[in-house]
């Protein structure tokens, strides 16, 4: 197989028009401000504040302001906290959110207030805050335990919104230079519609399934060699018992729809029925040399691994040389302390039915051999 996805183990723009879009990123920083000798700060006066040391956010200097006697006369019973940026003419206005958290002696958060929006800091207003952060009575209450050793600590987090304009390509409706090709989709849709007569007929287990030679040959080297070999015919009747009718229908469904058939995916069927159908389709995918279908079945079987199925799935994985599925079985067994003892006779039986890429050329040679007529060619699956 080609690229191998993991198997579960039971568990430059061509358009000329351009535009711009707003892209907002955020930069944040946190500063803790401890006010020592808190009792001596009372009586400073309304509107008077204590300034913290500066801290940096987005290349700017910021400060915290503590108003122990209130920010204004109407707020005299409350302490206030504000954050201020040192605004300079070369700095543009900035929007920022802020949060104040009152900490206990061990750093635990006792009280929190935050801005309700991103505030604009500019030459007209470079300071924003919470006027009524907490009442003085509540702050000094023993139940809150915010005052310790006659000091309080407040943590301030500032989040700056950085708004930048980015040039982005804007597609021009109906004027795109390149469009994805839909030729293959249209062809498959037409063939699947049934309007084109079938030119190959498969007879398996008494059931006849029709298809188009070109569609099958494009997806499978086996079908290509069978249907377009040395003596191709306009109508091919294929019979045999190696691949079941359900598995053959599943293969043809996959070829026409690029998806697993309902027999494997439908919830209307029991889990045991879906499991059996997946095993049959897995064998058919190996037989017809369809690596993508084979890996999709292996992934599905990986999700079916349990204590009752792991031995059988491991046998199929070894018979059809799927290292990923084999390893998934080993992982499952190792986690549960199980020993995998694949039955050699089962593996040999699976291989004898045509399993393994090593049998591919031999099967093609046998399948295209034999008498042919102008209207039909007999081949054994």
What confidence score (pLDDT) does residue 210 get?
Answer: 84
Report pLDDT for 165: 57
Least confident of 33-47, 197-211, 266-280: 197-211
Q: Phi and psi of 338, rounded to 5°?
A: -95, 155
Look at residue 239 in the predicted model and tell me its pLDDT: 44
Element housing 180 (H / E):
none
Confidence of residue 133 (pLDDT cuts 50, 70, 90): very high
Residue with tokens 């504000």: 82
Give whichever of 1-15, 23-37, 181-195 has the largest mean pLDDT.
23-37
For the segment 219-242, the average pLDDT, to the nearest whole number, is 67
Determine the pLDDT at residue 367. Answer: 45
How is 95-141 classified by DSSP, letter by letter? Answer: EEEEEEEEE-TTS-EEEEEE-SSPEEESSS--EEEEEEEEEHHHHH-
Render pLDDT for 165-216 as a digit per residue (tens, 0 to 9). Answer: 566 555 555 544 566 666 667 777 777 777 778 888 887 777 888 888 888 8
How far apart (Å, rounded) are the C-alpha atoms in residues 131 and 347? Answer: 80
Strands (E), the chain: 18-36, 50-51, 55-57, 60-67, 78-85, 94-103, 109-114, 119-121, 127-135, 151-169, 200-204, 207-211, 237-239, 378-380
Going by the DSSP 8-state scheme, the letter that residue 150 receives in this structure is T
Percentage of the chain modeled with pLDDT above 70: 73
At 131 the pLDDT is 93
Q: Two tokens at 349?
A: 């039986």
Closest CA to 83 of 103, 101, 94, 98: 98
Report which of residues 237 and 243 the model is more confident about: 243
Q: CA–CA separation, 49 vs 67, rounded Å? A: 4
Highest averaged pLDDT of the listed ranges 181-190, 202-211, 234-243, 346-355: 202-211
Burial of 83 (C-beta count, 10 Å sphere; 0-12/13-18/19+) = buried
Task: Select from 288, 317, 291, 285 the least CA-distant residue to 304.
Answer: 317
Structure tokens at 309: 């199925």
DSSP string, 224-256: HHHHTSSS--SS-EEE-SSS-HHHHHHHHHHHH
Per the model's pLDDT, the better-predicted residue between 200 and 260 turns out to be 260
Question: What does the alpha-carbon distance between residue 142 and residue 307 come to, in Å, rounded to a whole number?
Answer: 62
Task: Between 184 and 277, name the one with better pLDDT.
Answer: 277
The pLDDT value recorded for residue 147 is 93
Residue-wise DSSP of 326-369: HHHHHHHHHHTT------HHHHHHHHHTT-SGGGHHHHHHHHH-
**Of the candidates 227, 223, 215, the residue with the CA atom closest to the CA atom of residue 191:** 215
Which of 39-53, 96-110, 233-247 is the least confident region?
A: 233-247
pLDDT (mean) for 322-333: 87
Question: Tokens 């003085």 identify what position?
Answer: 136
Q: 152 falls in which pLDDT band (50, 70, 90)?
A: very high
For residue 156, pLDDT over 60 is answered with: yes
- pLDDT score for 110: 93
pLDDT at 89 over 80: no
Q: How confident is the model at residue 87 (pLDDT cuts 50, 70, 90)?
A: low
- Which pLDDT score is estimated for 186? 77
Over the stretch 359-371, which tens digit does the pLDDT of each residue have?
Answer: 444 444 444 443 3
- Which residue matches tokens 């294929």? 238
Distance CA 227, CA 214 (A): 8
Check residue 24 and give its pLDDT. Answer: 65
Q: What is the pLDDT of residue 100?
A: 95
**pTM to 2 decimals?**
0.48
Res. 90: pLDDT tops 70 = no
Average pLDDT, the chain: 79
C-alpha 258/C-alpha 267 separation (Å) is: 19
Band of residue 10 on the pLDDT scale cut at 50, 70, 90: low
pLDDT at 32: 94
Residue pLDDT, tens place only, 66-83: 999 999 999 999 999 999
Q: Which of 39-48, 221-230, 355-364 has the lowest mean pLDDT?
A: 355-364
CA dihedral for 68, 72, 76, 82, sign (positive or negative): negative
The pLDDT-based confidence of 125 (bands split at 50, 70, 90) is confident
Angle at 325 between CA 223 and CA 1, to 5 degrees: 40
Considering only residues 232 and 360, tell me which one the structure prediction assigns the higher pLDDT: 232
């Amino acid at each position: 197989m080609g690229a191998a996805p993991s198997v579960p183990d039971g568990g430059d723009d061509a358009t000329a028009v351009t535009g711009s879009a707003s892209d907002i990123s955020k930069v944040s920083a946190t500063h803790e401000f401890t006010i020592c000798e808190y009792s001596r700060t009372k009586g400073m006066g309304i509107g008077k504040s204590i300034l913290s040391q500066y801290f940096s956010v987005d290349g700017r200097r910021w400060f915290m302001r503590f108003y122990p006697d209130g920010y204004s006369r109407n707020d005299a019973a409350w302490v206030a906290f504000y954050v201020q940026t040192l605004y300079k003419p070369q700095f543009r206005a900035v929007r920022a959110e802020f949060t104040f958290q009152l900490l206990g002696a061990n750093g635990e958060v006792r009280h929190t207030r935050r801005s309700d929006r991103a505030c604009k800091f500019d030459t007209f207003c470079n300071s924003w805050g919470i006027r009524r952060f907490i009442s003085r009575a509540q702050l000094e209450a023993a139940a809150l335990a915010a005052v310790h050793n006659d000091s309080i600590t407040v943590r301030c987090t500032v989040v700056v919104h950085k708004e930048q304009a980015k040039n982005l390509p804007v597609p021009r409706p109906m004027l795109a230079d390149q469009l994805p090709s839909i030729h293959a989709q249209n062809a498959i849709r037409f063939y699947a519609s049934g309007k084109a007569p079938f030119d190959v007929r498969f007879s398996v287990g008494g059931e006849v399934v029709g298809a188009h030679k070109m569609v099958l040959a494009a997806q499978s080297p086996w079908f290509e060699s069978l249907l377009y070999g040395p003596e191709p015919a306009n109508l091919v009747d294929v019979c045999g018992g190696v691949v079941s009718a359900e598995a053959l229908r599943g293969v043809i469904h996959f070829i026409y729809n690029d998806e697993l058939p309902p027999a494997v995916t439908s919830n209307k069927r029991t889990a045991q029925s879906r499991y059996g159908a997946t095993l049959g389709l897995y064998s058919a995918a190996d037989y017809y040399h369809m690596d993508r279908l084979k890996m999709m079945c292996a992934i599905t079987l990986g999700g079916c691994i349990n204590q009752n199925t792991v031995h059988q799935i491991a046998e199929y994985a070894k018979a059809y040389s799927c290292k990923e599925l084999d390893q998934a079985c080993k992982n499952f067994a190792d986690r549960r302390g199980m020993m995998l003892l694949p039955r050699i006779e089962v593996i040999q039986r699976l291989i004898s039915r045509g399993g393994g890429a090593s049998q591919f050329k031999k099967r093609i040679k046998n399948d295209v051999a034999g008498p042919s007529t102008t209207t039909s060619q007999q081949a054994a699956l």
